[in-house]
């Protein structure tokens, strides 16, 4: 069974305020083992990155203005995740942004089955911190390279956290 661990970085929190995706990363798992297949791209959001978002991921307007636009990578992205379950930490956020990008291109929303590791963690550890960093600490997953948020690194970390969340050995 193939699954995709997915993460995004954005220009800000709210789709309603016109915020856009600046990075998409996907790491493929087969029977919970990374296959080495990945999809990763930075995007030109065609707008300024908020100061708060810049502090989180470090992607500046100058760098992003030289990247491809979502519509240019959309088909490759959709083919990569086609018919695969998506594993996402705080899926509501990422899916809202991805569906917004798809909508701007005239596409339908994603219809993949989704596993939200944030919800799994809240159910498994009620009242505890369930951020990706907190879960890495809980499961002794080395996240020392995570100085800033980076979608590809976060996918690799989340794949290890996910395996622990569903009580499988890494």
> Is 156 among the catalytic positions?
no
Whether the Cβ atoms of residue 135 and residue 161 lie closer than 8 Å to each other = yes
**Residue 77: closest CA among 49, 51, 62, 99:** 99
Whether the Cβ atoms of residue 96 and residue 126 lie closer than 8 Å to each other = no
Q: In what order do the strands lie in the sheet with 85-88?
A: 33-42, 21-30, 2-10, 85-88, 114-116
Q: Active site residue: 57, 97, 149, 156, which one?
A: 149
Query: Measured on CA atoms in the order 159, 143, 89, 57, is the torsion positive or negative?
Result: negative
DSSP state of 106: T
Euclidean distance between CA atoms 99 and 105, whole angstroms:
10
Query: Catalytic amino acids?
Result: 149
């Amino acid at each position: 069974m193939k699954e995709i661990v997915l993460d995004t970085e954005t220009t800000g929190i709210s789709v309603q305020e016109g915020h856009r995706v600046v990075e998409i990363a996907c790491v493929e798992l087969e029977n919970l083992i990374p296959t080495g297949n990945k999809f990763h791209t930075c995007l030109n959001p065609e707008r300024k990155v908020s100061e708060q978002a810049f502090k989180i991921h470090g992607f500046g307007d100058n760098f992003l203005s030289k990247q491809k636009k979502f519509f240019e990578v959309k088909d490759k992205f959709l083919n990569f995740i086609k018919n695969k379950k998506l594993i996402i930490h705080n899926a509501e956020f990422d899916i809202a942004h991805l569906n917004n990008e798809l909508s701007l291109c005239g596409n339908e929303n994603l219809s993949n089955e989704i596993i939200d590791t944030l919800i799994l963690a809240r159910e498994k550890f009620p009242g505890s911190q369930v951020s990706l960093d907190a879960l890495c600490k809980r499961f002794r997953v080395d996240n020392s390279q995570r100085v800033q948020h980076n979608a590809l690194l976060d996918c690799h970390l989340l794949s290890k956290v996910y395996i622990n969340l569903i009580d499988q050995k890494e």
